[in-house]
């Protein structure tokens, strides 16, 4: 019977076999729609409304611009806008009704007060309200060339300079003996572990304000796994764990992290949330110096690379911060920030893997355990250094 | 209003305001984007007059046709019901119904209300069928009459009609007393004497009370004084207050029920209004003749807030708290407040005033900016 069955099925063309389940699915959906078996469940449900205010800008002294997105399953009609608990005249484009995932821009002429918080509320046709608290109303920088330069400088301060400074420890690291070199590698792993956790946490924090439809948490997890996997595959294929190769991977991972960090910083400056901007920038500079140490550490083992390789590595790790501050300052989107941060987290994870492998191999060659007390102390010191320097940027 | 934009506030920069690290400031080129150290000296906000400061208020128009009642009609509509004589006594009757009805309370904002309607209201007469309106029809009668309110509950929830007046326990229109709640589809006739004269109200008293009131089940209930019961000057005043006397025609009488709507059901009103429609009399000012005595029956039924108020611009008025006296209880005031269910009569005139727009509103600025904002247009 088995034989005849298989003979019979062999007569049916393959493409038919492939299409049968799909056909059945279509029939089932058609039946579902026609018969509406869920009718007992449909009462007088109000439409599920979900609006997210993505951004509030203050382009001029008497202007407010609100960007809002409909992240819910149904169209939403914005009926009125309240600023500081008062109905206020507004223009909305493209229109009052937002389809699913449609974005709208609301413009108001409102005499906002510089440096003071400002609550904004949208009220829909069904009376549902969506709140947003602007922490400080501050004139939004224009997208002029002067500001482009200022934001670029910001990126250099938090990205390129600290990385380059950290790499200047290279000559010192070269002088110390092998045992201590492994400690420095372990220290690098510690720094990276901190960065990995920090990047993920930041991604989750921003992910909270994403409209539900974008599924912030899975997006972050899979974004991280994706970039980890891609970089692993790239690493395997190249089969290259030369000092420069490892340093490049580290620089790439840190670069992605700095891109995300730059985004957040740029957005903070643009929205005026960075009231103590200069202090913050110094904090980031100190905090990120350790990233340079991490990049330089694997280079100690081989020949001293050419200067342009150092410059290239510093730019690879630091320059994305410039791009980040530009995007964050002029076109911040939480979705973009979450994607970059999770890709960065995955990249850092991959670097942790690479550097740890170096450590383990080195230990094996010398017939020692990789997790010696000394190495563990180095790792702990790495986490601790990052933790303590983070005091400067977290409040 | 607690949600913050985490993307930019994640480092909670502002909490550091007190650290006073301004000394660390000045990283050259970065200055231009740190908005000039807001914590030290709030920068000037130049206003060269070229900027439009914008206008408060709602955008768009309410479709009063769809609501089937117009705030301008509510202002002047006194529902006298139907009268007949029984044993030499005037009996006044209304056919009142409670319905579920969604209506527009401000441009584009719809509220799923529970409303009263009568067959004799102006809105029902105009529509040719019973219209649920908010506030409910202003029931008006004369002191000493026998009143019968034939109530039918056509809503999906149990309701009552509780009158502020003098009546028996059985006719009180509250749960667990007398007739109690009137279930959907049931009817009951509330019967009592019209007393005391004054400016009163009625509302649903079913539980949960808060919800039943703020859904829209309330209205004005005015008992005119009977001049036959008073002498001398008081008699003349009573005539002016009583619609059956020609003296009353000299007065422009209006009703305003101060109410609010909690559209997101969070225990806080999103809309405040005079007669339900936010900004209605601001968009369409109430025209009054400057040499005519104005009498405003004012009732506060606002839920969730302890008081509401009215402030008349550029003028003063006399106030009759509860309307139960023929002499004012307050004279020459321009602002009065009322707790929920408090009400009274306001009398004023713009005699000798320059024609123009005169504002009146709740003097809780919040209520005013959330809809309880109005104008009189005084004409010569």
Q: Do B264 and A60 touch (CB under 8 A)?
A: no
Neighbours of B89 (CB within 10 A): 11
Question: In angstroms, what CA-CA distances link B217 with A303, A311, B220, B301?
Answer: 87, 76, 11, 10
pLDDT at B138: 98
Which candidate from A150, A267, A276 shows the least CB-CB separation from B32? Answer: A150
Tell me: pLDDT of A245 over 50.
yes
Tell me: pLDDT of A172 over 50.
yes
ipTM: 0.79
Quote the minimal CA–CA distance from A230 to chain B in Å.
27
* Percent above pLDDT 70 for chain B: 86
Q: Does B168 touch chain A (CB under 8 A)?
A: no
If pLDDT is split at 50, 70 and 90, which confidence band does A336 have? Answer: confident
Tokens of A113: 């007060």
pLDDT at B27: 40
Q: Per-residue pLDDT tens for B265-274?
A: 899 999 999 9
Q: Does B38 touch chain A (CB under 8 A)?
A: yes
User: What gap in Å lies between CA A69 and CA A59, rounded to an integer?
Assistant: 20
- Residue ranges of E strands in B230-276: 251-261, 271-274
User: What gap in Å lies between CA B370 and CA B361, rounded to an integer?
Assistant: 11
Q: Mean of the per-residue pLDDT values for chain B? A: 88
Strand arrangement of the beta sheet that strand B136-142 belongs to: B78-79, B136-142, B218-224, B198-203, B162-163
- Residue B28 phi, psi (nearest 5): 25, -110
Which candidate from A115, A153, A332 shows the least CB-CB separation from B38? Answer: A115
Q: Do B13 and A268 touch (CB under 8 A)?
A: yes
pLDDT at A88: 94
Q: Do B270 and A138 touch (CB under 8 A)?
A: no
pLDDT at A82: 95
User: What gap in Å lies between CA A118 and CA A141, rounded to an integer?
Assistant: 18
Quote the minimal CA–CA distance from A16 to chain B in Å.
50
User: What gap in Å lies between CA B97 and CA B81, rounded to an integer?
Assistant: 13
Q: Do B30 and A146 touch (CB under 8 A)?
A: no
Quote the minimal CA–CA distance from B25 to chain A in Å.
5
Nearest CA to B374 out of B256, B294, B216 is that of: B256
If pLDDT is split at 50, 70 and 90, which confidence band does B332 have? Answer: very high
Q: Which of A282-291, A351-360, B69-78, B248-257 has the lowest mean pLDDT?
A: A282-291
User: What gap in Å lies between CA A29 and CA A360, rounded to an integer?
Assistant: 56
pLDDT at B324: 97
Q: Does A111 touch chain B (CB under 8 A)?
A: yes
Tell me: pLDDT of B373 over 90.
yes
Tell me: pLDDT of A15 over 80.
yes
Q: Do B33 and A329 touch (CB under 8 A)?
A: yes
Q: Does A80 touch chain B (CB under 8 A)?
A: yes
Tell me: pLDDT of A54 over 80.
yes
Q: Per-residue pLDDT tens for A207-231?
A: 888 887 788 899 999 999 998 888 7
Tell me: pLDDT of A267 over 80.
no
pLDDT at B7: 38
User: Which of residues B203 and A170 earns the better pLDDT score?
Assistant: B203
Q: Which of A45-49, A265-269, B345-349 has the lowest mean pLDDT?
A: A45-49
If pLDDT is split at 50, 70 and 90, which confidence band does B151 have? Answer: very high
User: Which of residues B353 and A1 earns the better pLDDT score?
Assistant: B353
Tell me: pLDDT of B47 over 50.
no
Which candidate from A108, A281, A334 shows the least CB-CB separation from B27? Answer: A281
Tell me: pLDDT of B106 over 70.
yes
Q: Do B30 and A90 touch (CB under 8 A)?
A: no
Q: Per-residue pLDDT tens for B220-249?
A: 999 999 999 999 999 999 999 999 999 999
pLDDT at B235: 96
pLDDT at B5: 39
Quote the minimal CA–CA distance from A95 to chain B in Å.
13
Q: Do A206 and B370 touch (CB under 8 A)?
A: no
pLDDT at B28: 41
* Percent above pLDDT 90 for chain B: 83
pLDDT at A47: 66
Which candidate from A62, A63, A133 shows the least CB-CB separation from B3? Answer: A133
Q: Taking residues A128-134, what's their average pLDDT?
A: 91
Quote the minimal CA–CA distance from A218 to chain B in Å.
18
Tell me: pLDDT of A276 over 50.
no
Closest residue in B to A90 (Cα–Cα):
B59
pLDDT at A18: 87
Q: Does A167 touch chain B (CB under 8 A)?
A: no
User: Which of residues A274 and B63 earns the better pLDDT score?
Assistant: B63
Closest residue in A to B41 (Cα–Cα):
A115
Residues 189-208, chain B, touching A (beta carbon < 8 A): none
What are the chain B neighbours of A324 within 8 Å (beta carbons)? none
pLDDT at A273: 55
- Residue A394 phi, psi (nearest 5): -115, 135
Q: Does A352 touch chain B (CB under 8 A)?
A: no
Q: Do B51 and A153 touch (CB under 8 A)?
A: no
pLDDT at A178: 72
Task: Please list the residues that pair with B150 across neighbouring strands.
Answer: B95, B189
Q: Taking residues A260-289, what's their average pLDDT?
A: 69
Quote the minimal CA–CA distance from A345 to chain B in Å.
17
User: Which of residues A221 and A268 earns the better pLDDT score?
Assistant: A221
Quote the minimal CA–CA distance from A177 to chain B in Å.
39
If pLDDT is split at 50, 70 and 90, which confidence band does A341 have? Answer: confident
Nearest CA to B260 out of B73, B134, B72 is that of: B134
Q: Taking residues B311-315, what's their average pLDDT?
A: 97
Quote the minimal CA–CA distance from B101 to chain A in Å.
13
Tell me: pLDDT of B15 over 50.
no
User: Which of residues A233 and B163 earns the better pLDDT score?
Assistant: B163
Tell me: pLDDT of A83 over 70.
yes
Q: Taking residues B45-51, what's their average pLDDT?
A: 43
Q: Does A158 touch chain B (CB under 8 A)?
A: no
Quote the minimal CA–CA distance from B280 to chain A in Å.
13
Q: Does A177 touch chain B (CB under 8 A)?
A: no
pLDDT at A369: 79
Tell me: pLDDT of A274 over 60.
no
Tokens of A385: 């250094």
DSSP per position, B276-332: SSTTHHHHSPEEEETTSEEEEEEEE--SSSSEEEEEETT--EEEEETT--SS-SEEE
* Percent above pLDDT 70 for chain A: 89
Q: Mean of the per-residue pLDDT values for chain A? A: 83
User: Which of residues A141 and A190 earns the better pLDDT score?
Assistant: A190
Closest residue in B to A107 (Cα–Cα):
B54
Tokens of B241: 């207050």
What are the chain B neighbours of A279 within 8 Å (beta carbons)? 16, 19, 21, 24-25
User: Which of residues A336 and B95 earns the better pLDDT score?
Assistant: B95
Residues 262-301, chain A, touching B (beta carbon < 8 A): 264, 267-282
Q: Taking residues B85-99, what's their average pLDDT?
A: 96
- Predicted TM-score (pTM) of the model is 0.77
If pLDDT is split at 50, 70 and 90, which confidence band does A8 have? Answer: low
Tell me: pLDDT of A364 over 50.
yes
């Amino acid at each position: 019977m088995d034989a005849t069955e298989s003979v019979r099925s062999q007569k049916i063309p393959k493409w038919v076999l492939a299409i049968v389940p799909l056909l059945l699915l279509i029939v089932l959906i058609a039946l579902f729609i026609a018969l509406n078996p869920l009718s007992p469940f449909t009462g007088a449900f109000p439409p599920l409304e979900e609006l997210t205010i993505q951004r509030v800008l203050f382009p001029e002294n008497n202007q407010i611009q609100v960007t809002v997105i409909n992240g819910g399953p149904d169209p939403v009609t914005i009926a009125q806008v309240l600023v500081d608990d008062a109905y206020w005249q507004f223009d909305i484009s493209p229109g009052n009704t937002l389809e699913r995932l449609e974005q709208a821009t609301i413009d108001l002429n409102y005499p906002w007060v510089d440096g003071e918080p400002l609550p904004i509320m949208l009220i829909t046709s069904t009376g549902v309200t969506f709140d947003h608290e602007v922490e400080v109303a501050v004139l939004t920088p224009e997208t002029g060339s002067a500001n482009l330069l200022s934001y670029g400088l910001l990126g250099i301060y938090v990205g390129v300079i600290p990385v380059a400074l950290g790499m200047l420890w290279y000559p010192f690291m070269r002088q110390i003996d092998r045992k201590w070199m492994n400690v420095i590698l372990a220290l690098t792993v510690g720094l990276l572990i901190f960065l990995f956790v920090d990047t993920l946490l930041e991604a989750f924090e921003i992910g909270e304000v994403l409209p539900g439809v974008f599924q912030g948490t899975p997006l972050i997890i899979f974004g991280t796994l994706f970039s980890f996997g891609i970089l692993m595959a790239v690493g395997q294929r190249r089969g290259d764990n030369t000092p420069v190769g490892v340093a490049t991977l580290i620089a790439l991972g840190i670069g992605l992290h700095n891109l995300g960090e730059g985004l957040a910083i740029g957005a903070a400056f643009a929205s005026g949330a960075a009231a103590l901007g200069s202090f913050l920038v110094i904090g980031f500079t100190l905090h990120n110096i350790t990233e340079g140490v991490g990049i330089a550490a694997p280079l100690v083992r081989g020949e001293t690379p050419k200067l342009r390789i150092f410059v290239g590595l510093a730019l690879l790790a630091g320059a994305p911060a410039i791009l980040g501050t530009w995007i964050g300052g002029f076109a911040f989107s939480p979705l973009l920030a979450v994607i970059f941060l999770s890709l960065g987290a995955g990249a850092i994870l991959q670097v942790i893997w690479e550097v740890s492998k170096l450590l383990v191999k080195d230990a094996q060659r010398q017939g020692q355990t990789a997790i010696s007390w000394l190495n563990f102390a180095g790792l702990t010191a790495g986490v601790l250094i990052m933790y303590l320097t983070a005091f400067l940027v977290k409040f | 209003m607690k949600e913050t934009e985490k993307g930019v506030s994640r480092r909670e920069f502002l909490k550091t305001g007190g650290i006073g690290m301004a000394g660390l400031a000045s990283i050259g080129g970065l200055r231009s984007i740190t908005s000039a150290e807001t914590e030290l000296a709030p920068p000037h906000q130049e206003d060269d007059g070229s900027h439009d400061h914008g206008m408060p208020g709602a955008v768009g128009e309410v479709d009063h046709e769809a609501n089937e009642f117009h705030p301008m009609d509510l202002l002047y509509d006194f529902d006298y019901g139907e009268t007949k004589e029984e044993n030499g006594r005037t009996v006044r009757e209304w056919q009142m119904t409670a319905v579920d009805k969604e209506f527009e309370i401000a441009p584009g904002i719809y509220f799923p209300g529970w409303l009263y309607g009568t067959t004799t209201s102006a809105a029902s007469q105009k529509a040719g069928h019973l219209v649920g309106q908010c506030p409910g029809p202003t029931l008006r009668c004369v002191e000493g009459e026998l009143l019968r309110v034939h109530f039918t509950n056509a809503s999906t929830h149990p309701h009552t009609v509780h009158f502020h007046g003098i009546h028996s326990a059985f006719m009180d229109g509250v749960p667990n007393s007398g007739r109690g709640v009137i279930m959907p589809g049931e009817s009951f006739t509330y019967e009592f004497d019209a007393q005391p004269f004054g400016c009163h109200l009625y509302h649903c008293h079913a539980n949960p009370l808060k919800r039943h009131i703020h859904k829209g089940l309330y209205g004005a209930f005015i008992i005119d004084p009977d001049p036959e019961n008073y002498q001398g000057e008081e008699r003349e005043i009573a005539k002016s207050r009583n619609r059956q006397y020609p003296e009353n025609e000299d007065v422009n009488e209006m009703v305003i029920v101060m109410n609010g709507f909690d559209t997101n059901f969070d225990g806080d009103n999103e809309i405040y209004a005079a007669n339900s429609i936010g900004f209605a009399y601001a968009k369409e000012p109430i025209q009054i003749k400057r040499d005519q005595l104005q009498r405003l029956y004012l009732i506060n039924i606002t839920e969730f807030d302890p008081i509401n108020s009215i402030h008349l611009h550029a003028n003063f008025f006399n106030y009759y708290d509860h309307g139960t006296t023929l002499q004012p209880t307050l004279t020459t005031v321009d602002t009065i407040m009322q707790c929920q269910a408090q009400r009274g009569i306001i009398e004023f005139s713009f005699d000798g005033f320059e024609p123009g727009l005169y504002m009146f509103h709740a003097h809780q600025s919040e209520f005013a900016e959330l809809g309880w904002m109005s104008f009189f247009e005084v004409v010569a």
